[in-house]
């Protein structure tokens, strides 16, 4: 098993939120010795029915590019498109 979530005690409130359920659930993410890459975004897509709000938040966070090269490239190409007029 590559990773697993540690069970945490439930809060004292009577209602159980989606986050509470996520935090107390044990997950198996596969064996790191197999060499198969774990796809986080695909995992959230598969669990969107169970964790609807958390999956939306996770997808919004995970799709953010890790670098700013795309932004820098867009600004540097501006000089090629616009002229002095």
Query: Quick check: 69 pLDDT over 60?
Result: yes
Q: Give the global pTM.
A: 0.53
Whether 12 and 33 have beta carbons less than 8 Å apart is answered as no
- pLDDT, position 80: 57
Query: Quick check: 79 pLDDT over 90?
Result: no
Question: Cα separations (Å) of 26 from 6, 11, 47, 64, 85?
Answer: 7, 17, 13, 27, 62
Query: Quick check: 57 pLDDT over 90?
Result: yes
Q: How confident is the model at residue 62 (pLDDT cuts 50, 70, 90)?
A: confident
Angle at 27 between CA 22 and CA 31, to 5 degrees: 155
Q: Between 52 and 6, whose confidence is greater?
A: 52
**For 57, which DSSP code?**
H
């Amino acid at each position: 098993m590559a990773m697993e979530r540690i069970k945490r005690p439930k809060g004292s409130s009577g209602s159980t939120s989606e986050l509470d359920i996520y935090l107390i659930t044990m997950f198996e993410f596969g064996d790191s010795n197999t060499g198969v890459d774990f796809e986080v975004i695909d995992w959230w897509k598969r669990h969107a029915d169970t964790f609807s709000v958390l999956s939306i938040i996770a997808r919004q966070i995970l799709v953010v590019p890790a670098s700013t090269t795309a932004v820098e490239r867009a600004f540097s190409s501006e000089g090629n498109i616009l002229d002095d007029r």
